[in-house]
Amino acid sequence: MPEGPEIRRAADRVHRQLAGRRLDDAWFAFPDLAGQAPTLIGRRVAAVDSWGKALLTRFDDGRVLYSHNQLYGVWKLHAAGREPATGRSLRVRLVAQGRAASLYSASDVSLWEADRLGDHPFLSRLGPDLLTHGVSVEQAVQRLLEPHFRRRGVGGLLLDQSLFAGIGNYLRAEILFFAGLHFKVRPADLEKGTLMRLAACILAVTRQAYDQAGVTNRADWAAADRARGARRRHWRFAVFEREGLPCHGCGTAIERVMVASRRLYFCPHCQPAG
């Protein structure tokens, strides 16, 4: 499933396609939304952003179209009147000044007033989005030390969307590797400098994944792997999906374990247990 950086990049693409333009047409496959489609005609798309794995299309009248891609949803951008080549089921189409954005295969779509987004059953459970809500290192440290989070192992904690929205399986592994932390350590047990390093890695690795389309590895390590003919799935990451391969930093074989029912990759030398 795409993680926060991928959803934010998708939001950016839809934003570039529609933002600042007034809708000429809106279509929804869902009966409860179909009746509201005419009320969007003439409305200007103010912005498109993301919160975790949800995409939010904001209109100038204060309404927000919430959509969650889940496993199979995808937005396709195209010229109005020119159907994308796909066998997927169309769920949403927005058309503005000759441009169209079409959502396929997603089933979780709803229209909200912006001031009621906090009541949304999914969004209400999310922590701040690392790419949308301007989280600082200091704020990240404070959040890690909140009573609900501070005594939980970071390997499971980082997947909790109520901590920070958008961190998934590959980001978790990469963050812990670059922070040099074992997955069993707890925020409550870390000294301030180590907490600051973890918080900085949470922000930096997520930002790099966004900036570089999912690449979280160091540039020199990735270049060396590419020169050796490695596949993208191996050179794009420092540890994720590299079980049995040598750590870029120390040469120790990367290991895989199950943490919070998800596979986690780590270097036992760079991320010692004790």
How many other C-beta atoms are found inside a 10 Å radius of the C-beta of residue 222? Answer: 21
- Average pLDDT over the chain, rounded to whole? 96
- Tokens 């949470």 correspond to 202
Q: Is 172 an annotated catalytic residue?
A: no
Judge whether residue 1 has pLDDT over 80: no
Q: Is 3 an annotated catalytic residue?
A: yes
What's residue 69's pLDDT?
87
Q: What is the C-alpha to C-alpha distance for residues 107 and 109, in angstroms, rounded to an integer?
A: 6
Dihedral angle computed from the Cα positions of residues 235, 238, 239 and 240, in that order, rounded to the nearest 10 degrees? -60
Which tokens is 259 given? 């943490």
How many other C-beta atoms are found inside a 10 Å radius of the C-beta of residue 93? Answer: 19
261: Cβ contacts below 8 Å, ≥ 6 apart? none
Helix (H) or strand (E) holding 104: strand 99-104
Single-letter residue type at 98: G
Q: Is 53 an annotated catalytic residue?
A: yes
- Helix extents (H) in the chain: 4-18, 31-34, 137-144, 154-157, 169-179, 192-211, 219-227, 232-235
Q: Is 125 an annotated catalytic residue?
A: no
Q: What is the C-alpha to C-alpha distance for residues 193 and 58, in angstroms, rounded to an integer?
A: 39
Single-letter residue type at 255: E
pLDDT bin (cut points 50, 70, 90) of residue 268 is very high
Domains of the chain are: 4-125 (3.20.190.10), 137-266 (1.10.8.50)
pLDDT bin (cut points 50, 70, 90) of residue 71 is confident
Question: Mean pLDDT across the stretch 195-210?
Answer: 98
- Tokens 């997955």 correspond to 183
At 217, give phi and psi (nearest 5°): -75, 160
Catalytic residue among 8, 53, 91, 236: 53
- For residue 4, with 0-12 CB atoms within 10 Å meaning exposed, 13-18 middle and 19 or more buried, which class applies? buried
pLDDT digits (tens, 9 = 90+) for 226-261: 999 998 988 999 999 999 999 999 999 999 999 999
Judge whether residue 274 has pLDDT over 80: no
Q: What is the C-alpha to C-alpha distance for residues 220 and 101, in angstroms, rounded to an integer?
A: 37
pLDDT bin (cut points 50, 70, 90) of residue 185 is very high
Q: What is the C-alpha to C-alpha distance for residues 68 and 108, in angstroms, rounded to an integer?
A: 5
Catalytic residue among 2, 5, 128, 187: 2
CA angle 79, 81, 83 (to 5 degrees): 80
8 A C-beta contact, residue 209 and residue 215: yes
How many other C-beta atoms are found inside a 10 Å radius of the C-beta of residue 214? Answer: 17
Question: Mean pLDDT across the stretch 28-41?
Answer: 96
pTM: 0.94
Catalytic residue among 22, 84, 262, 268: 262
Catalytic residue among 3, 6, 58, 236: 3
| The dihedral sign for the CA sequence 108, 114, 118, 119 | negative
pLDDT digits (tens, 9 = 90+) for 73-114: 999 999 998 999 999 999 999 999 999 999 999 989 999 999
8 A C-beta contact, residue 243 and residue 252: no
